[in-house]
Chain A
Amino acid sequence: MKTKYIPLLLALLLLLTGCGARQPEATRQIFAMDTVMDLYAVGEDAEALLTEAAQEINRLESLLSRTRAGSDVSILNETGTAQLSDETAALLDAALHYADITGGVFDVTIAPLVEAWNIHGENPRVLTGGEIAALLPLVGSHHLRLSGAAATLDQGCAIDLGGIAKGYASDVIARLYRDGGMTGGWISLGGNVYAHGTKPDGSFWNVAVRDPMDAAATAAMVQLSNQFAVTSGGYQRYFTAGDGTVYQHILDPKTGIPAMSDLLSVTIVCGNGTMADAYSTALYVMGEAGAVSFWSANRAEFDMILITADHRLLYTPGLAGRVTTEEGGAYEVQVLS
């Protein structure tokens, strides 16, 4: 065989293999913030980056947990006053903003009700009307005051950052991915997702939105790159009372009872994990009409996918071309305008 063919064949080999070595990748699974978290990173030093990410998540939990002794949140709840870390103060400031913009539908002062219902815990129970009436006056963002990093809470009130802390953690980890030069990867912090960069072939990451009616099925697939996606719904965490009534875990701060939503799930897609977390909970409580109205007033900030109890799947135009659903699937698909 002529030796002049050898360079040609080597060039072909390099061309078809992407002209380089496969990039290092790493995965990590941790239990934190009352959920399981999966992280996947592609890039130089991916393993070290995920070690740092795990440390960051644990650090944030030690600041933001309502149940961990010594956390900023625990101290504030126990004593009614606290000098917070700058980070906790900034997150509480954001929480107050989201409470304001959602008209109090998202509210971190809902903790007394969360604790009494205990739907996440080992002994959930149905509150009486009298108990709810006694607790509702303790809920409302006016009970929480911030002055720089100094926070005060009114007597008997408490905060729970469960509706926003994982979203904030996803923002922190996303920043690590960007600053660490990761070319791709994703994180999933118990339903809070961030998709970073692209896959090695340059395509976006495929994120499946679970079908609330059938855990084994997918309602839609959305392609993401450098964006966050958070889904809220009442179909997984709930408890069934003795009379057979199902009580799902997302409480309505206005009524003190589990949200009576006409939505099965809300998925928020945007460039801010904290906002996505807060809005997914709030829009679920608002129901379809409220969620669509809220999106119309704030459409520059986020996109969303709504799955309704009457078998419709609605998504916003910003996701056009990136959402796919099964032909003849369980839901009638509509694009909002």
Chain B
Amino acid sequence: MKSKSSPKLRPTFFDAIVVVLVAALALGSAWWFYGGLGRSGPATYIITHQGQEIARGELRQPREITVEGQYHLQIVCDGESIAVTHSDCPTQDCVRTGRATHPGQSIVCLPEQVVIKLVGSGSGPDLVIG
């Protein structure tokens, strides 16, 4: 004959809280593991000059950055995109690349070794060619 469970062994409200917390922790860990944390949030630009990071910020915050080296580059973040608006480098590839707006995109000035890279966002490409 089945015996009635003791009131002491019945799940309590505290037990339910623990179960919810553990489940939330597990889901959060899975989300982090599969890259959610590293790729979410607003797009961020990272600017390197000759291998050294010289600026980093959110794309939504307007800012102007000047790079001084053998050549002079003017970089403008207008809150929606980032672009090299002026450069006195000989090839001008960086200026012609135009605006970068989405994670995965980059702008490169080879003569001055400046790289502007956009990272972040959830569903963007892993890399861009062309």
What is the interface of chain A, defined by CB distance below 8 A to chain B?
Answer: 1-2, 5, 9, 12-13, 15-18, 22, 29, 31, 34-36, 38, 120-123, 186, 188, 191, 193, 195, 199-201, 205-212, 214-216, 218-219, 221, 229-231, 233, 236-238, 265, 267
**CB-based nearest A residue for B9:** A2
What is the interface of chain B, defined by CB distance below 8 A to chain A?
Answer: 9, 11-12, 14-15, 18-19, 22-23, 25-27, 29-30, 33-35, 48, 51, 81, 90-91, 93, 96-102, 104-106, 108, 110, 113, 115, 124-130
Query: Among B14, B93, B126, which residue has its beta carbon within 8 angstroms of that of A206?
Result: B126
Chain A residues with Cβ below 8 Å from B9 are 2
* Docked-complex contact A215 and B99, CB < 8 angstroms: yes
* Docked-complex contact A38 and B26, CB < 8 angstroms: no
CB distance from A176 to the nearest CB of B (A): 18
Instruction: Give complex CA distance A238, B96 in Å.
Output: 9
The 3 A-B pairs at the shortest CB distance, nearest first, are namely A210-B130, A215-B98, A208-B125
Secondary structure at the A interface, as helix, strand, loop or mixed, is strand
**CB-based nearest B residue for A215:** B98
A-B contact pairs, 26 of them (CB 8 A): A12-B23, A16-B29, A17-B26, A29-B48, A35-B108, A35-B110, A120-B91, A122-B90, A188-B129, A199-B126, A200-B33, A200-B35, A201-B34, A205-B126, A206-B126, A208-B124, A208-B127, A208-B129, A215-B99, A215-B100, A216-B102, A229-B129, A231-B130, A236-B93, A238-B96, A265-B130
Instruction: Give complex CA distance A214, B11 in Å.
Output: 61
CB distance from B24 to the nearest CB of A (A): 10
Instruction: Give complex CA distance A16, B93 in Å.
Output: 46
**CB-based nearest A residue for B125:** A208
* Docked-complex contact A121 and B90, CB < 8 angstroms: yes
* Docked-complex contact B125 and A18, CB < 8 angstroms: no
* Docked-complex contact B30 and A29, CB < 8 angstroms: no
Contacts known (A1-B15, A17-B26, A31-B110); A201 close to B129, Cβ less than 8 A: no
CB distance from A95 to the nearest CB of B (A): 22
Contacts known (A12-B22, A12-B26); A221 close to B51, Cβ less than 8 A: no
* Docked-complex contact B110 and A207, CB < 8 angstroms: no
CB distance from B8 to the nearest CB of A (A): 10
* Docked-complex contact B30 and A17, CB < 8 angstroms: yes
Chain B residues with Cβ below 8 Å from A209 are 128-130
* Docked-complex contact B35 and A215, CB < 8 angstroms: no
* Docked-complex contact A236 and B97, CB < 8 angstroms: yes
Chain B residues with Cβ below 8 Å from A205 are 126-127
Given contacts A1-B11, A1-B12, 11 further A-B contacts (CB under 8 A): A9-B22, A13-B22, A13-B25, A16-B30, A36-B108, A186-B126, A215-B100, A229-B129, A230-B129, A233-B130, A238-B96
